[in-house]
């Protein structure tokens, strides 16, 4: 499946968050590539586990910044993070049961999520982060 | 009740272990903050399961380093890991059964474990690992 290429305009102005967004993208791209190349179930599974664990780290970091910046939509934003975890875990379980079909569904979800959450929703907080000292 | 604030002094100086300790810290933090938001209990339980998975990976990593460094208290340390896993899995079963006040009980347990084990007991092997040249 088509990978997503990092662009400089994706930055949100805070180095730590940019690095984490890039790392998340790297893991997602690794999964997307697995699909097209020779597929190895164990490799796929371990990359997916890394993605979920890394998402916890990233969300915890991001939410700390948003709390400090008094971002008004924090509540909604956190709920989107939680929703991501629940959906990804749910799809990961489906992949175990019904490989090919669910794998494509999971990958489409990750692609859409990165494009709609990281590259769109996250941009809402940029002006608020500008007000805190980093 | 709040979880802890991250401090760089929590690092022990071996990168792989430090990353995992931070990862565990972040998952536990999210268990704490999830209670500030109206989330379904399902999320708390799912996160706990992820925490347990991550912990298993972490213990295996840590034990590998301790073995390579010929850390003399390896066996006692492993014993603590096993006891922790047994307890936390028992708590997760209670969580799945939605026992009353179980979430609070789990948070108390994890916070005191993080403070006593990761920020306490783990400091004991630090010297052995660093002396061996791990970083």
With the CA atoms of A24, A25, A30 and A31 taken in that order, what torsion angle do they form, in degrees rounded to the nearest 10?
80
**Minimal Cα distance from A74: which residue of B?**
B37
Report chain A residues whose CB lies below 8 A from the CB of B48: none
The mean pLDDT of chain B is 93
**Minimal Cα distance from B39: which residue of A?**
A79
Inspect the interface and report whether the beta carbons of A49 and B39 lie closer than 8 Å.
no
Q: Identify the band that residue A133 occupies on the pLDDT scale cut at 50, 70 and 90.
A: low
Instruction: Give the gap in angstroms from C-alpha B40 to the nearest C-alpha of chain A.
Output: 10
What average pLDDT does the segment B120-134 reach?
A: 93
Please tell me the predicted confidence (pLDDT) of residue A130.
86
Please tell me the predicted confidence (pLDDT) of residue B41.
72
pLDDT in tens, B95-109: 999 999 999 999 999
DSSP B36: G
Q: A103: number of CA atoms within 13 Å, CB side?
A: 19
Report chain B residues whose CB lies below 8 A from the CB of A66: none
Please tell me the predicted confidence (pLDDT) of residue B131.
93
Please tell me the predicted confidence (pLDDT) of residue A35.
65
pLDDT in tens, A13-59: 899 999 999 999 999 999 998 766 567 788 888 899 999 999 999 99
pLDDT in tens, A79-100: 999 999 999 999 999 998 877 7
Inspect the interface and report whether the beta carbons of A56 and B23 lie closer than 8 Å.
yes
Cα-based distances in Å from A24 to A53, A107, B23, B85? 10, 14, 14, 29
The per-residue b/e assignment along B89-110, b for 16 or more CB within 10 angstroms, e otherwise, is eebbeebeeeeeebbeebbeeb
Please give the model's pTM, rounded to 2 decimal places. Answer: 0.86
**Which ipTM was obtained for this model?**
0.78
Q: Shortest CB distance from A85 goes to which of B23, B26, B46?
A: B46
pLDDT at position B39 over 80: no
Query: How many helices (H) does chain B have, and how many strands (E)?
Result: 5, 0
Report chain A residues whose CB lies below 8 A from the CB of B33: 60, 63, 78
């Amino acid at each position: 499946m088509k990978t997503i290429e990092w662009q400089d305009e994706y930055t949100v102005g805070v180095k730590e968050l940019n690095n984490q967004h890039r790392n998340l993208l790297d893991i997602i791209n690794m999964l997307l590539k697995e699909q097209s190349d020779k597929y190895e179930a164990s490799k796929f599974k371990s990359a997916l586990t890394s993605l979920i664990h890394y998402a916890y780290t990233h969300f915890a970091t991001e939410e700390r910044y948003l709390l400090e910046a008094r971002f008004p939509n924090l509540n909604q934003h956190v709920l989107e993070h939680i929703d991501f975890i629940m959906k990804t875990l749910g799809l990961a379980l489906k992949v175990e049961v019904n490989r090919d079909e669910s794998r494509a569904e999971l990958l489409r979800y990750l692609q859409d999520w990165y494009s709609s959450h990281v590259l769109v929703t996250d941009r809402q907080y940029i002006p608020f982060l500008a007000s805190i000292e980093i | 009740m709040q979880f802890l604030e991250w401090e760089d002094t929590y690092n022990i100086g071996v990168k792989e272990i430090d990353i995992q300790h931070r990862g565990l810290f972040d998952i536990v933090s999210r268990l704490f903050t999830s209670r500030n938001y109206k989330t379904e209990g399902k999320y708390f339980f799912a996160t706990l399961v992820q925490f347990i998975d991550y912990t298993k990976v972490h213990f295996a990593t840590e034990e590998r380093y301790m073995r390579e460094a010929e850390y003399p208290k390896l066996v006692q340390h492993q014993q603590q890991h096993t006891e922790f896993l047994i307890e936390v899995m028992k708590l997760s079963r209670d969580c799945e059964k939605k026992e009353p006040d179980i979430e609070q009980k789990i948070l108390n347990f994890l916070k005191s474990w993080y403070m006593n084990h990761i920020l306490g007991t783990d400091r004991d092997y630090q010297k052995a690992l660093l002396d061996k040249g791990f970083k």
